[in-house]
Amino acid sequence: MSDAAVGAIAFVTLLTIVVGARGIRVARTPDDFMVAARQVPPALNAAAISGEYLSAASFLGIAGLIVSQGLGSLWYSVGYTAGYLVLLLLVAAPLRRFGAYTIPDFADGRLGSKGLRQAATALVLVIGWFYLLPQMKGAGITLQWVLGTPYWIGVVTLGVVVSGNIAMGGMKGITFVQCFQYWLKLCAIGIPALVLLIATGHDSARNLQPGNAPVFTRATVVDVPQAVDFTLTRPTTATVSGMLDQRQYRHQAVPLCACRHVAGAGAQLGFAAGAPVPTSLAMAPSPGVSWDSPLSAAGTDGAHPLLSTYGIIIATFFGAVGLPHILVRFYTNPDGEAARRTTLIVVLLLSTFYLFPAVLAVLTRAHAPQLYLAGDSDNVLLALPSLLLPGLPGELLAALVAAGAFAAFLSTSSGLLVSVAGALSHDFMNRGVTSFRWCAIAAGAVVTAASLLIGRFSLALLVGWAFAIAASSFCPLLVLGIWWRQLTRAGAAAGIVVGGGACLAAIIASMTGAATHGWSAVLLGQPAIWTVPLAFSVMIVTSLLTQRTLPGNVGQVMLRMHLPEALSRQDYRSFPLERARRAPGR
Amino acid sequence: MSAEESRPAQRQLVVWRGDEVPVAHDIPGPGDLRDDTKTGRLLIGSLVRAQLGLSLMCLMIALTVTISFPLIAALVPAVSRTRVAGLPVTLIVLGFAFYPVFLAVGWFYHRQARQLEARFTDLVNPAGRRPDD
């Protein structure tokens, strides 16, 4: 669309490649590749974790979902932040002290079972791929919006850049890249939010009044770039140029009924101030949930909104604990105490970031309701700046948003691809740098191909589903593995297979449209509400039934996870050595 | 002279060096933890229970604060129509108000967990305490 946006995206991509390439010289051994040799100080690590975590969903998806479905979608940003609080409370320090850098490693080390390890690896691949899909979709629609290229070009570009970068630089490069990406993303969403807030002021909040369908606050001409189906809440008259309902108009006043209409590509619809805002079918709100209600029925078509909201809360609060690409980062902390400090800083960084999608979504609702005609809610943030601030300033802000969005796709998909490729090469191939590189390229290719098929699902919804799978498989494994001596191999395996499998099946059923209303829509669309308790209970009951197979070293393992550093250092007589090695990093 | 020498000293001030405090073998120490004795298991069990209790308490606080809001809004629909300074109360609560709560709970937990661990370290290994602690 604008040269500035193209330049900004190219800049971000090149910078990512260059900073990542620095890692090539530093990365020498597989351990360097995988965990940056464990010498990352907390503040840097926290920024890297946040940079990796803030994905397409956080950047574009949540704001779009708030605009279309209402303020209840803010539960996604609340939950994505609270996930790190849960991680701090239940997992961070013991997991770091245990010293495993992937979840399969943890399962293997804690319970000593190769079968369990492979089940965990398979789940890492499922969650990783599920989480990678929305990143690819985000890249596709961003490039589509900026350059007008077909959807698949953006998808393939991201796939090539990310898998190539990882195959070359590995994790050491990525730590610097991710840290830089957090600050870039914060600026790319914070600056537009603040500038637009100041530019528009706090007037004409008419569309924020309770219970109102959005109306145009001033006379507005809406351009329709692509053919769109839309509805109106009440009849009105519009000045139409171009195709509408299969008739060609040339600047004519046309009465429109409160029913379904089709506008052709390139049409212009002029509305008077106070006219109802047309809403594209892709952006239609869930029935039964008002825009300002704190309940969300996204993905469940308005059925049982309270239950659906609790489904989102459970999935996002407990899902972050089980995300495969995040746990790798905790291994790069020097010790358990540093892991806690890192996590607390992450909560702070995420809280700061998530203030802004809400601001931008409310600005859209209040001042740019014509975006309800956008074909896809995920486009809203990209289109907003030029609508509110015409001319060069708006274009520059739009370029900043596009660059930040691209940074989000790059960083999250890099982190995910590192863990997917790591799991593949470590557990299913011969270990080593070459195998890791090939796995990165192969996994990237598979995801790129798959993401050409998922265009119609909202980014936030897709990422929410990845969280639901993690919450109903790895979350119980980690929480019970850390705090409960009596967990057995059979219990852990049964829990992750039943919980993760049930959740995956429910999501696939929901994606294929097996149930669209009533209880089944909620239970399939937000499955975490029943699959998380199910996974915990299966794990506990099976463990209690198989107590004879309790691993013999459980006492030592518990000791390793929970003994404070002051004691363990003294115990292993390694304190002076460790202090000497870590001194330059502090 | 000889009578004075053989008489036991009436008062003696005994000064021990800090690192030579005699410790009887039934006092728990780091060795118990390392050798996985019964005492060692009791000790580490008490630490794990204390840590888990603290974590669950903090988790309950955060969960209660967050999950009660949709429930209240579902029971009292007027809540979602309320405005504060012209903005929907939902926006203020979900968009801004929960984050300071999470930060406060996280900070409190971090401090308490560190203190728990310091107390445990002192209990197990009193000789390892540094003079400035």
pLDDT digits (tens, 9 = 90+) for A518-573: 777 888 888 999 999 999 999 999 999 998 888 878 888 888 888 887 777 654 43
Give yes or no for a contact between A387 and A371, defined as CB atoms under 8 angstroms apart.
yes
b/e code A188-219 from CB counts within 10 Å (16+ = b): bbbbbbebbbeeeeeeebebbebeebbbbbee
> Which of B91, B93, B120, B125 to probe by mutation at the A interface, max A CB count within 10 Å?
B91
- Helices and strands, number each (H, E), in chain B: 6, 2
As given in the structure block, the two tokens for residue A393 are: 């300033």
Report B:52-111 residues touching A (Cβ under 8 A): 52, 55, 58-59, 62-63, 66-67, 69-71, 73-74, 80-81, 83, 86-88, 90-91, 93-96, 98-100, 102-103, 105-107, 109-110
**Nearest C-alpha of chain A: how many angstroms from B15?**
26
pTM: 0.84
**Closest of A408, A434, A510 to residue A136, by C-alpha:** A408
| Helix, strand, coil percentages in chain A from 3-state DSSP, rounded to 5 | 70, 5, 20
| Residue A14 pLDDT class (50, 70, 90 cuts) | confident
Instruction: Pick B99's closest partner by Cβ from A81, A211, A313.
Output: A81
Q: Which amino acid is at B53?
A: G
A-chain residues within 8 Å CB-CB of B44?
555, 558-559, 562-563
**Nearest C-alpha of chain B: how many angstroms from A438?**
40
- Which residues touch B41 (CB under 8 Å, ≥6 apart)? A555
Instruction: Pick B41's closest partner by Cβ from A93, A309, A555.
Output: A555
> Which of A50, A75, A197, A292 to probe by mutation at the B interface, max B CB count within 10 Å?
A292
pLDDT digits (tens, 9 = 90+) for A181-207: 889 899 989 999 988 888 886 655 666
pLDDT attached to residue B68: 92
B16 touches chain A (CB under 8 A): no
pLDDT surpassing 90 at residue A415: no
B-chain residues within 8 Å CB-CB of A88?
106, 109-110
Instruction: Pick A313's closest partner by Cβ from B55, B67, B120.
Output: B67
**Nearest C-alpha of chain A: how many angstroms from B118?**
8
pLDDT attached to residue A356: 92
Q: How many CB atoms lie within 10 A of CB B96?
A: 16
The strand pairing partners of A248, in sequence order, are A243
In angstroms, rounded to a whole number, what is the distance separating the alpha carbons of residues A48 and B132?
35
pLDDT surpassing 60 at residue B6: no
The domain segmentation of chain B, as residue ranges, is: 25-125
Q: By CA distance, what is A74's nearest residue in B?
A: B94
Instruction: Pick B90's closest partner by Cβ from A293, A317, A343.
Output: A293
As given in the structure block, the two tokens for residue B114 are: 């560190």
**Closest of A314, A339, A469, A303 to residue A42, by C-alpha:** A339
A246: three-class secondary structure by DSSP: coil
pLDDT digits (tens, 9 = 90+) for A66-115: 888 888 889 999 999 999 999 999 998 898 888 877 888 888 888 888 88
**Nearest C-alpha of chain A: how many angstroms from B30?**
7
Q: What percent of chain A has a predicted confidence (pLDDT) above 70?
A: 85
Instruction: Pick A344's closest partner by Cβ from B69, B98, B107.
Output: B107
Q: What percent of chain A has a predicted confidence (pLDDT) above 90?
A: 17
pLDDT digits (tens, 9 = 90+) for B52-61: 999 999 999 9
pLDDT digits (tens, 9 = 90+) for A320-356: 888 887 777 777 787 888 889 999 999 999 999 999 9
> Which of A88, A309, A486 to probe by mutation at the B interface, max B CB count within 10 Å?
A88
pLDDT attached to residue A302: 64
In angstroms, rounded to a whole number, what is the distance separating the alpha carbons of residues A52 and A182?
8
A498: three-class secondary structure by DSSP: helix
In angstroms, rounded to a whole number, what is the distance separating the alpha carbons of residues A165 and A152?
20
Report B:31-50 residues touching A (Cβ under 8 A): 33-34, 36, 40-41, 44, 47-48
CA A526 distance to own-chain centroid: 16
Q: Which amino acid is at B101?
A: V
Instruction: Pick A71's closest partner by Cβ from B36, B74, B88.
Output: B88
pLDDT attached to residue A579: 33
**A24-33, A490-499, B26-35, range with the lowest pLDDT:** A24-33
Q: How many CB atoms lie within 10 A of CB A52?
A: 28
pLDDT attached to residue B53: 95
Q: Which amino acid is at A234?
A: R
A197 touches chain B (CB under 8 A): no
Record: contact A483-B86, CB cut-off 8 A: no
Give yes or no for a contact between A326 and A471, defined as CB atoms under 8 angstroms apart.
no
Q: By CA distance, what is B125's nearest residue in A?
A: A567
A551 touches chain B (CB under 8 A): no
Residue written as tokens 């607390």?
A344
Q: By CA distance, what is B49's nearest residue in A?
A: A483
Record: contact A90-B59, CB cut-off 8 A: yes
| Residue A295 half-sphere exposure toward CB, CA atoms < 13 A | 26
A425 touches chain B (CB under 8 A): no
B-chain residues within 8 Å CB-CB of A50?
none
pLDDT attached to residue A42: 81
The strand pairing partners of A249, in sequence order, are A242
Q: How many CB atoms lie within 10 A of CB A484?
A: 16
* Pairs of CB atoms within 8 A across A/B: 154
A208 touches chain B (CB under 8 A): yes
Q: DSSP state, B66?
A: H
Record: contact A351-B103, CB cut-off 8 A: yes
In angstroms, rounded to a whole number, what is the distance separating the alpha carbons of residues A202 and B131?
59
- In the CATH hierarchy, which fold is given to the domain comprising A3-19+30-201+304-455? Sodium/glucose cotransporter (1.20.1730)
User: DSSP strand E in A99-139: where?
Assistant: none
**Nearest C-alpha of chain B: how many angstroms from A228?**
30
| Residue A28 pLDDT class (50, 70, 90 cuts) | very low
Instruction: Pick A344's closest partner by Cβ from B30, B36, B110.
Output: B110
pLDDT digits (tens, 9 = 90+) for A293-326: 788 776 666 678 888 889 899 999 999 888 887 7
> Which of B98, B111, B125 to probe by mutation at the A interface, max A CB count within 10 Å?
B98
pLDDT surpassing 90 at residue A383: no
What ipTM goes with this model? Answer: 0.85
Record: contact A294-B70, CB cut-off 8 A: yes
**Nearest C-alpha of chain A: how many angstroms from B11?**
39
**Nearest C-alpha of chain B: how many angstroms from A152?**
34
As given in the structure block, the two tokens for residue B125 are: 């290994």
Instruction: Pick A74's closest partner by Cβ from B58, B73, B95.
Output: B95
Record: contact A290-B73, CB cut-off 8 A: no
Q: Does A500 or A550 have the greater pLDDT score?
A: A500
B-chain residues within 8 Å CB-CB of A558?
44, 48
**A22-36, A224-238, A396-410, A544-558, range with the lowest pLDDT:** A22-36
pLDDT surpassing 50 at residue A257: yes
A-chain residues within 8 Å CB-CB of B133?
none
Residue B63: exposure state from Cβ atoms within 10 A (0-12, 13-18, ≥19): middle
- Which residues touch B74 (CB under 8 Å, ≥6 apart)? A295, A305, A306
Residue written as tokens 């798959």?
A450
Backbone angles phi, psi at A251, to 5 degrees: 50, 55
